Structure formats: structure tokens, C-alpha cells
Amino acid sequence: MPFYSSRPNRTPRSPNPDNSVSTPLDVDNGELKYQISLKTRLLNDIFGNNGDLWLGYTQISHWQILNSQQSRPFRETNYAPDANLMFSTNFPLWGWNARMLGVGLVHQSNGRSNPLSRSWNRATATLALERENWTVTLRPWWRVLEFGEDNNADISDYMGRGEMEIVHVRDDMQFALNLRHSLRGGDRSHGAVQFDWAIPLAPPLRMHVQLFNGYGESLIDYNHRAWYAGVGLSLIEWY
């Protein structure tokens, strides 16, 4: 999708001096954003007739396609392989039907060298609730520290310690609201909100509208706040 930022991050920074840019980058407000996500079930019914192990991979790229002065570079690409052990459930909770529980591990990095290197690892828990045409997914996580130098020590205070995604399907249209927060107060209180709207065109092709406000739209922007907006195309459901 063509993607617009209200405030491009021209001086990415981190508490680690080796991961802070001293000379502003030549970055345009407009770019192209695309996402590729894959997942497959590696093992099923690990514990009797329940418990499936899923492997996944997501890649999101931001392409400065209009920035001819800088030879139209890819500003940022984030790579996120993950593994999740998921259990099907069926019990009432808070007036909803709890349909899924899971635990997982995810690594996310941008594969770059200093000063632009960013990465982190997380252990996650997942609870998915359903009611009629609504789905709510709660996903807290805990950062798993890496060996060696930490290039974004404060990332949990910006990218958050958990998220809630609310999805509603109506007349074949899909609406999703994703909320993230650091779960801390004062100067450590940060978060983000993302809204997605998918409108059927010629199934499975959909027009896709995305709005984002807050911190961490990409890893290089983990502690940078801005508005982002895009209109593009999507092929599959994202939840």
C-alpha cells in the first residue's frame, strides 16, 4: 500500500550511543509498505487430541519508492519468525466463548548494522475470545534478553508489553483495532493504536485501509511517535 507518515524518523536513536544516528537521514513522508506473512502447522495433537505447534514468518518492508535522490532505498525491513503452541478451547469467559489458548516465542529484527540495528525476542501468551461476529485476542508478552550488546534497552516501554486486537466482520467487510501499551505509568507510559478496514473487491482481493498512531510502527521507529496512513490491497484475512 502507498503509505504516508506525518513525521518521518530522520534521526533514529537508542539509549545505546552506538545505535543513534548523528546525521539526519534523507527520508520522504511517502513510501510503499508491503507485508508477507506465512504460517504452517508443524505438529498436531501433541497432547492427546489437542495442542498444535505452528511456525510462522512475517516480513514488513517500507520502500522509499519516490525518493529518487537516494536511489529509492528500502528504508526499513522487519523480519519476524515465530513458533506457537496453540490449544483449542471451548468455555465461557466474561460473556464470551474462549476458543483458543497458546504460548509462543517470536524474534523480530531489521537485519541491519549499527547505528540502525534493532532487534528483540519475546515470550508470548495468547487468549482468543469469540462472540457472534466479533473476535478479541489478548496477547501479553515478556522480553527475553539477547546475548551481547542490547541495541534498544528501552524497547518494552515503547513497543509495549502486550496487545489487544478486536476484529469485527460485517457484510464481508473486516474491521480490526489493535491496541498496544507499555503497561507502565508516568514517563514510561507509551503505546500505539492501529485500525484496519478490508473491503471486498474480487475475493480474495480486498481494498485495505490502515491508520496508525503511536510508537513502533516499525522497529527503527520503536521510540518515535507519528501518524501513518495507507490505502492498498490485501489477499487474505490477517487474524
pLDDT in tens, 139-169: 999 999 877 778 899 999 999 999 999 999 9
Find the DSSP H helices in the chain: 156-159
109 is catalytic: yes
Residue 154 pairs in a beta bridge with none
- φ/ψ of 141, rounded to 5, equals -145, 165
CATH number at residue 203: 2.40.230.10
State the catalytic residue, choosing from 20, 61, 107, 168. 107
Q: Give the count of domains, the chain.
A: 1
Q: Which of 132, 137, 36 lies closest to 84 in space, CA to CA?
A: 137
Q: What is the pTM of this model?
A: 0.94
State the catalytic residue, choosing from 109, 119, 218, 234. 109
189 is catalytic: no
Q: Which range of residues forms the domain containing residue 101? A: 2-234
The per-residue pLDDT for range 28-75, each reduced to its tens digit, is 999 999 999 999 999 999 999 999 999 999 999 999 999 999 999 999
Decide if 239 is inside a domain.
no
Q: Which of 85, 160, 84, 86 lies closest to 120 in space, CA to CA?
A: 160
